[in-house]
């Protein structure tokens, strides 16, 4: 990511779920990446569209970080309250904000869909990463250089029968492989990411309707 003349790397870690410190959902692989970061940007669903509690979700993930490595719990962290454009989001933020502020966290209310609040968040991330960079440089000097990933095949949507759709390509299979799909919270995360990446919109355009089955890799979801 580039902000003005400063660039930094942002890693999206969707697989951090309860039990990650034990390896659930490939937790160890994700947590090893977290150890290399200068700043943690902790995104929560402030609209609680799946009926979850933003504070509970926040506590669960931070507990997983601490259980895996106490030093992770001490890393600088900011909170991003996403989906602020949805119903109940602002009321939930009013309830949760004092909790995070009491713990000393900066909180940014954003909408990944509409773009609300994203500029302020990105500039603050750049400021913080830049301020932490000197102590991180030496740690990365001897890091192995990893070749860029092979481009994923294009997204395809195939209708298997009247109520069943098969989604392939576009990194969708890789997403399901990186998350323990047997965990209810992981299924919600998979669906949320598919929606954010426009897969749900593409399915509707192809003719999928509410209640239809959607198969992505080894995961089966339901259109809503």
CATH superfamily of 2-140: P-loop containing nucleotide triphosphate hydrolases (3.40.50.300)
Predicted model pTM: 0.57
Domains of the chain, by residue range, sit at 2-140, 156-222
Strand pairing of 213-216 and 164-168?
parallel
pLDDT at site 140: 46
Per-residue pLDDT tens digits of the chain, which is 224 residues long: 888 888 888 877 765 545 443 444 444 455 666 777 888 899 999 998 878 899 998 988 888 778 877 777 788 999 999 999 998 999 999 999 999 999 999 999 999 888 899 999 999 999 998 887 655 444 444 444 444 455 567 889 999 999 999 988 877 766 665 555 566 566 777 788 788 778 888 899 999 999 999 988 778 888 88
Other CB atoms within a 10 A radius of the CB of residue 129 amount to: 22
Half-sphere exposure of 123 (CA within 13 A, CB side): 5
Q: Can you tell me the distance from the alpha carbon of 97 to that of 203, in angstroms, rounded to the nearest whole number?
A: 36
Please give the CATH architecture assigned to the domain spanning 156-222. Answer: 2-Layer Sandwich (3.30)
To the nearest 10 degrees (0 to 180), the angle between helices 54-68 and 89-102 is 40
Q: Can you tell me the distance from the alpha carbon of 213 to that of 166, in angstroms, rounded to the nearest whole number?
A: 9
- Number of helices followed by number of strands (H, E) in the chain: 8, 9
């Amino acid at each position: 990511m580039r902000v003005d003349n400063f660039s930094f790397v942002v890693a999206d870690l969707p697989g951090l779920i309860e039990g990650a410190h034990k390896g659930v959902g490939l937790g160890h692989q994700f947590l090893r990446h977290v150890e290399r970061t200068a700043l943690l940007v902790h995104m929560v669903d402030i609209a609680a569209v799946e009926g979850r509690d933003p504070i509970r979700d926040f506590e669960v993930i931070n507990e997983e970080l601490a259980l895996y490595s106490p030093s992770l719990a001490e890393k600088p962290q900011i909170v991003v309250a996403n989906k602020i454009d949805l119903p109940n989001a602002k009321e939930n933020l009013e309830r949760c904000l004092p909790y995070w502020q009491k713990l000393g966290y900066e909180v940014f209310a954003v909408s990944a869909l509409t773009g609300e609040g994203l500029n302020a968040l990105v500039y603050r991330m750049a400021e913080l990463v830049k301020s932490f960079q000197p102590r991180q440089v030496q740690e990365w000097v001897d890091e192995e250089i990893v070749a860029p990933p092979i481009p994923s095949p294009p997204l395809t949507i195939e209708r298997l029968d009247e109520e069943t759709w098969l989604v392939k390509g576009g990194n969708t299979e890789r997403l399901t492989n990186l998350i323990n799909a047997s965990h209810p919270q992981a299924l919600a995360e998979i669906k949320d990411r598919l929606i954010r990446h426009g897969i749900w919109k593409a399915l509707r355009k192809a003719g999928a309707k509410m209640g239809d089955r959607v198969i992505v890799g080894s995961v089966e979801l339901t259109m809503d």
